[in-house]
Amino acid sequence: MKRFGRLRKVMAVGMAGVLLVGASGCSDSKGGGQGGGESGGQEKYKIGIIEVQLNDESTNRAEWFNNYIAPQYNVEFMFSEACTDLNSCMTFIENAADAGCDGIINYYAVGANTQQLVELCAEYDMVYTENGGRNTGNEAVFAGNYENFAGNFMADQPATGKLFKDYLSETLDTSVEHGFIVGTGSAYQGNAQQTEISANMLGALEELYGLKFDSTIEELYTSSAPVNGTNDKGIEVYCYPGAPSTSGWLEGLNAAMQTGKYDYILMSGNVLGNIMTTVDELETAMNKDFTVIGFGSFGEALTSAMNSVDHFGNQALSMSTVKFTSIVSTMGFSKVYNCLTGHRDACLEANGEPSVLLFRMNAVTSPEQLDEMGSWDKEGKWVADYDFVDSLLANKTEGLTSDKAQETVYKMDYDAIKARLN
Amino acid sequence: MMKSNNSKDMVSRIAKAVAVPVMVWAIMQVIDMVFAGMGVINNSADIKTLFRNLISSLAFALAIGANLNCGRMDLSLGAQMYAGVIFGGNMALMLNVGGIGVLILSMAVGALCGLVTGFIFINLRILPMVLGLGMTLVFECICFAINNQQGVILYGKPGVEILSNITFIIVVTAAIVLFAYYFFQLSGYGFKYRAIQGSQKLASDAGINIYSNCVICYVIAGTLAACAGVFITIYQGNLTPVLGMSSNGRVFSNMFPMVLGTWIGGLCHNREGGILMGAVTVNIIILGLTKLGLSNSVQNVIIYALFLTFVVYNTNRSKIEYYKARKARVAQARKMMAQRAA
């Protein structure tokens, strides 16, 4: 009995340990960044950052904020763990307020939540910006003249879609018969990025073949069930929605590819790491060459896909897109910092409403190009350097307006970065 | 004469077990040929897909059954699978020990997760389902916290191709079935396990250590779940951690092969062989449905409707037999009355 009691004590300690480890995985904050020393007598600010997930990108972002930006601009950063709902965002904002934060940069952007979060930040006298666009869900915030709202920042989605369109225009030989599977991903749920990419891919096919779909392009990408894009030219186009996390999605893609009608796989979602094994196996089994074009992000999956050679000796992944985290982060930082330093005007459109700053993604088509880009945006080779950050800060750049800021961001394209970093 | 009867009996059992997947394949083949113009299995890629999905369903179904047969529903199996593959897989990749290393280390971590869960269960005596939910949250959070939330990526990693090799998958499938058959049916542990399955109280009174038996069950379940996870991951290319008990989906989606397999096992008097056939059957249905180009939601509706129909039938089988017997008795009584009247 005594032995059993001791065992219970050991178990209690063990359980506490397990729960502690578990709890640490779910805690709300993972501590602040490097406060840095006084930089030229600038006032010290503290900014809370709401992360939606922890991955290569968020780690990279934290490095840039903590090690590069914090000491230079005398700003301290406080990061959340993964916030995947409104409640966790609100809890983090309250914690950030308690910790003395002056502003919030939110990477978990849901239009319907924006007003509530802006109002919560206003209660604590904090500036707010988020990584999202202007849509029906948050229209009231943009029109509502909230003093603490600095506007939003996001990817220029039509430009991202155009990257795919341009690549297809340049490489597709329309004199040879081709069939296309267009992975529309979550476009049917309103995902802006996947909507634009899907729409542009379908638009490119219309343009290149001079065809007319029997349904509208919108009807094709908003379908939640697989649908044939029947058209007047008889080109085989199959719109395949969903994501690999759904049971049977990969098998469905596999079945569609096996029909033998399609040889181009165009994916709007970030699914490269999931589909390449299936593609490779089918190439071997069917002795058919598939061309894969898809949205991607810097990471192991993209590197593996781009560096792999298929059954026919071709590059397994023909084209993908990437973005530079530090450019996106600069946009969010500049919005909050400008408001904190009393230059909110630089965050407003000419009509007085908060602006949405846009950045453009880049296309990557070869392992060499990926290798080159992959070496950028790291310690010592930040794409967004102090000159770039300063050019978006109103206290460093006189007469800065929203339009000028947008112009500056657009100028930071692949060629400009390459010229500077190489 | 006796030997001949045994052989006939064995052939009859095997025929019953194989008949179910063969019939389902025949039905799906006809449907696919009529509506999609292609069969259920058309080339080597289909065979690979079928076998990879088969081994994951089989291992998961056996894992669920290990505890469920003794009245414990372990809902943390999905999370144990994630923990096993994410920890074991990353360790194996760091050690550069290839696909077999990924499988072994994942199963080892899965076993450890099962051990922790089982040990907590026998000491704290929390209801298995409640404990399962709690452990799910803990394992999910741990998986989420490590490796920058990346989980494990097997796509493009050197040495892991063996996990997609059909011969290797068949060898592992055979090893799992034989191990499970020996362990649960022939070994001393299996003897005690079945005694506990009959009555835990009587087994305990008879001197069987029901606690150690229970912990071993959890360890085996964790090992099998992690094994299933490795083959899921190699097919999907990666395994990303999930939160909010999403890992439970894996448990529920593998209930169908487990329940169907247990029924087939009853027909052929071999539970493990039955679960193998149950897994084959369900995966043939899934593969057949994907050929029809239906949306994932429609496929799931069909699969779960079939599952529900089967469960309803299986639960009410005795009633059907009762009504049949009653009908026969009534008919016989009427016949006798008619004879008497005549």
A171 and A129, same structural domain?
Answer: no
The answer on A102 and A30 residing in a single domain is yes
A111 and A21 housed in the same domain? yes
Q: Are residues A148 and A263 in the same domain?
A: no
Nearest CA in chain A to B155: A273
Which two three-digit tokens encode residue B243? Answer: 């939160």
Instruction: Report which residue type is found at B182.
Output: Y
Q: Is residue A367 part of a domain?
A: no
Q: Which residue has the tokens 């060898």?
A: B171
Nearest CA in chain A to B119: A11
Cα distance between residue B125 and residue B137, in whole Å: 18
CA B145 to chain A, closest CA, distance in angstroms equals 5
Quick one: A183 and A315 in the same domain? yes
In this structure, what token pair is assigned to residue B131?
């404990």
Is A53 in contact with B44 (Cβ distance < 8 A)?
A: no
Contact: A258, B234; criterion CB under 8 Å: no
Strands A45-51 vs A149-155: parallel, antiparallel or unpaired: unpaired
Lookup result for tokens 């994942």: B106
Q: Do the chains contact at B38 and A274, CB–CB below 8 Å?
A: no
Whether residue A224 and residue B297 make contact (CB cut-off 8 A), yes or no, is yes
In which residue are the tokens 């493990």 written? B272
Structure tokens at A64: 């840039």
pLDDT tens for residues A251-307?
889 889 988 899 999 998 888 888 988 898 899 888 899 999 988 877 777 888 888
Does A225 sit within 8 Å of B294, measured CB to CB?
A: yes
Q: What is the DSSP string of A90-140?
A: HHHHHHHHHTT--EEEESS--HHHHHHHHHHHHHTT-EEEESS---TTTHH
Q: Is B142 on the interface with A (CB under 8 A)?
A: yes
Domain assignment present for residue A283? The answer is yes
Structure tokens at A191: 């995902």
pLDDT band at residue B116 using 50, 70 and 90 as cut-offs:
very high
- b/e per residue A312-335 (b: at least 16 CB within 10 A): eeebbbbbbbbbbbbbbbbbbbbb
Least CB–CB distance from A25: residue in B120, B141, B244 = B141
Q: Determine, yes or no, domain membership for A231.
A: yes
Cα Rg of chain A, angstroms: 24
Q: Would you say the C-alpha torsion A162, A166, A171, A173 has a positive or negative sign?
A: positive
Which residue from B45, B145, B235 is facing A285, i.e. has the nearest CB? B45
**Which residue range(s) make up the domain with A268?**
157-322
Q: Give the pLDDT score at A5.
A: 54
Output the 3-class SS for chain B.
CHHHHHHHHHHHHHHHHHHHHHHHHHHHHHHHHHHCCCCCCCCHHHHHHHHHHHHHHHHHHHHHHHHHCCCCCCCCHHHHHHHHHHHHHHHHHHHCCHHHHHHHHHHHHHHHHHHHHHHHHHHHCCCHHHHHHHHHHHHHHHHHHCHHHCCEECCCCCCHHHHHCHHHHHHHHHHHHHHHHHHHHHCHHHHHHHHHHHCHHHHHHCCCCHHHHHHHHHHHHHHHHHHHHHHHHHHHCEECCCCCCCCHHHHHHCHHHHHHHHHHHHHHCCHHHHHHHHHHHHHHHHHHHHHCCCCHHHHHHHHHHHHHHHHHHHHCHHHHHHHHHHHHHHHHHHHHHHHHHC
Q: Tokens 């909230």 — which residue?
A: A146
Over pLDDT 90: what percentage of chain A?
43
Report the C-alpha dihedral over residues A345, A337, A97, A17, rounded to 10 degrees: 150
Cα→Cα distances A129→A141, A183, A344, A386, B263, Å: 11, 31, 12, 21, 58
Picking from A54, A242, A281, the nearest residue to B45 by CB comes out as: A281
Residue A345 is classified by DSSP as G
Can you point out the beta strands (E) in A250-314? 264-267, 291-295
Q: Are residues A219 and A311 in the same domain?
A: yes
CATH fold of B42-293 reads ABC transporter involved in vitamin B12 uptake, BtuC (1.10.3470)
Q: Report CB contact under 8 Å: A249, B296.
A: yes
Whether A169 maps to a domain, the answer reads yes
Cβ-Cβ contacts under 8 Å between A and B: the total is 151
Q: How is the beta sheet containing A45-51 ordered, strand by strand?
A: A29-32, A75-82, A45-51, A103-106, A127-130, A149-155, A356-359
Phi-psi map region of A201: left, alpha, beta (phi>0 left; psi -120 to 50 alpha): alpha
Structure confidence at residue A19 (pLDDT): 44
Nearest residue to B288 (alpha-carbon basis) of B49, B28, B46, B48:
B28
A-chain CB neighbours of B116 within 8 Å are 18
Rg of chain B, C-alpha, whole Å: 22
Q: Which of A322, A349, A375 is the endpoint of a domain? A: A322
Q: Are residues A195 and A150 in the same domain?
A: no
Domains identified in chain A, total number: 2
Indicate whether A192 belongs to any domain: yes
Confidence of residue A16 (pLDDT cuts 50, 70, 90): low
Q: For chain A, what is the largest distance between any 2 Cα atoms, rounded to a whole number of angstroms?
A: 85
Assign A37 a pLDDT band (cuts: 50, 70, 90).
very low
pLDDT at B174 over 50: yes
**Residue A104 — very low, low, confident or very high, per pLDDT cuts 50/70/90?**
very high
Q: Rounded CA gap, A307 and A371, in Å?
A: 10
Q: Which residues of A touch B296 (CB under 8 A)?
A: 242, 246-249, 252
Give me the residue from B123, B240, B243 closest to A11, CB to CB: B123
Chain B segment 60-89 residues within 8 A of A by beta carbon are none
The answer to whether residue A365 sits within a structural domain is no
Q: Does B141 touch chain A (CB under 8 A)?
A: yes
Give B229→chain A minimum CA distance, Å.
14
Q: Assign B318 a pLDDT band (cuts: 50, 70, 90).
A: confident
Q: What DSSP string describes A179-244?
A: EEEEEEETGGGT-HHHHHHHHHHHHHHHHHHT--BSS-HHHHHT-SS-EE--BTT--EEEEEE--T
Give the best residue of B54, B123, B304 to mutate against chain A (max A CB count within 10 A). Answer: B123
Contact call for B119 and A258, based on CB within 8 A: no
Question: What is the pLDDT, as a whole number, of residue A18?
Answer: 46
Paired with B339 in beta bridges are none
Touching A: B residues 152-171, CB under 8 Å: 153, 155-157, 164
Task: Say if A216 falls within a structural domain.
Answer: yes
CA distance A229 to A220: 7
Which token pair is B231?
Answer: 């083959």
Instruction: For A238-247, write each residue's pLDDT tens digit.
Output: 999 988 877 7
How far apart, in whole angstroms, are the C-alpha atoms of residue B42 and residue B291? 10
Has residue A7 got a pLDDT over 80? no
Whether residues A404 and A392 fall in one domain = yes
Tokens (6 digits) for A354: 């908060």
Helix H or strand E encompassing A369: helix A367-374
Average pLDDT (A53-66) is 80
List the Cα angle B64/B314/B178 in 5-degree steps: 40
Length of chain B (residues): 342
Nearest Cβ partner for A281 among B48, B124, B150: B48
Nearest to A261 by CA among A241, A239, A243, A238: A238
CB contact under 8 A, B235 and A273: no
**H-run or E-run covering A142:** helix A139-143
Strand order in the sheet with A264-267: A227-228, A236-241, A179-185, A264-267, A291-295, A317-322, A362-364
Q: Report if residue A68 sits inside a domain.
A: yes
**Closest Cβ–Cβ partner in B43, B236, B293 for A256:** B293
Shared-domain flag, residues A9 and A98: yes
Q: Kindly state whether residues A142 and A167 are assigned to the same domain.
A: no
Q: Is A163 in the same domain as A300?
A: yes
Contact B296 A242 (CB under 8 A): yes
- Contact yes or no for B294 and A226 at CB 8 A: yes
- Among A11, A223, A247, most B C-beta atoms within 10 A, so best to mutate, is A247
d(CA B300, CA B292): 13
CA A198 – CA A158 distance, rounded (Å)? 10
Predicted confidence (pLDDT) at residue A31 exceeds the cutoff of 60 = no
> Tell me: the pLDDT tens digits for B256-307?
999 999 999 988 888 999 999 999 999 999 999 988 888 778 888 999 999 9
Distance CA B279, CA B262 (A): 10
Residues A295, A281, single domain; the answer is yes
**Whole-number pLDDT of residue A188:** 85
With an 8 Å Cβ cutoff, is B147 touching chain A? Answer: no
pLDDT of residue A39: 52
Question: Cα-flanking dihedrals φ and ψ of residue A174, to 5°?
Answer: -75, -10
Query: Smallest CA–CA separation between A280 and chain B, in Å?
Result: 9
Residue A2 reports pLDDT greater than 70: no
Q: What is the mean pLDDT of chain A?
A: 85
Name the residue among A242, A273, A278 with its Cβ closest to that of B238: A273
Confidence of residue A4 (pLDDT cuts 50, 70, 90): very low
**B64-102: pLDDT as tens digits:** 999 998 889 999 999 999 999 999 999 999 999 999 999
Q: Does B211 touch chain A if contact means CB atoms closer than 8 Å?
A: no
Indicate which CATH number applies to the domain containing A173. Answer: 3.40.50.2300
With beta carbons under 8 A apart, name residues in chain B contacting A301. Answer: 153, 155-156, 237-238
Q: Residues of B numbered 258-297 whose beta carbons fall under 8 angstroms of chain A's beta carbons: which are they?
A: 286-287, 289-291, 293-297
The overall average pLDDT reported for chain B is 90
Report the 10 Å Cβ neighbour count for B101.
18
Question: Residue B44: its chain A contacts at CB < 8 A?
Answer: 281, 284-285
Q: Are A248 and B155 within 8 A, CB to CB?
A: no
**Could you tell me which residues are beta bridge partners of residue B152?**
B239
* Exposed e or buried b per residue across B260-272, where buried means at least 16 C-beta atoms within 10 angstroms of its C-beta: bbbbbbebbebbb
Of A54, A242, A250, the CB nearest to B235: A250
B-chain CB neighbours of A225 within 8 Å are 294-295, 297-298
Is A327's pLDDT higher than 90? Answer: yes
Show me where the domains of chain B are located. Answer: 42-293, 297-342
CB of B230 less than 8 A from some CB of A: no
Nearest-CA distance from A24 to chain B in Å? 8
Q: Quick one: average pLDDT of B207-224?
A: 94
What's the pLDDT score for residue A35?
35
pLDDT of B281: 95
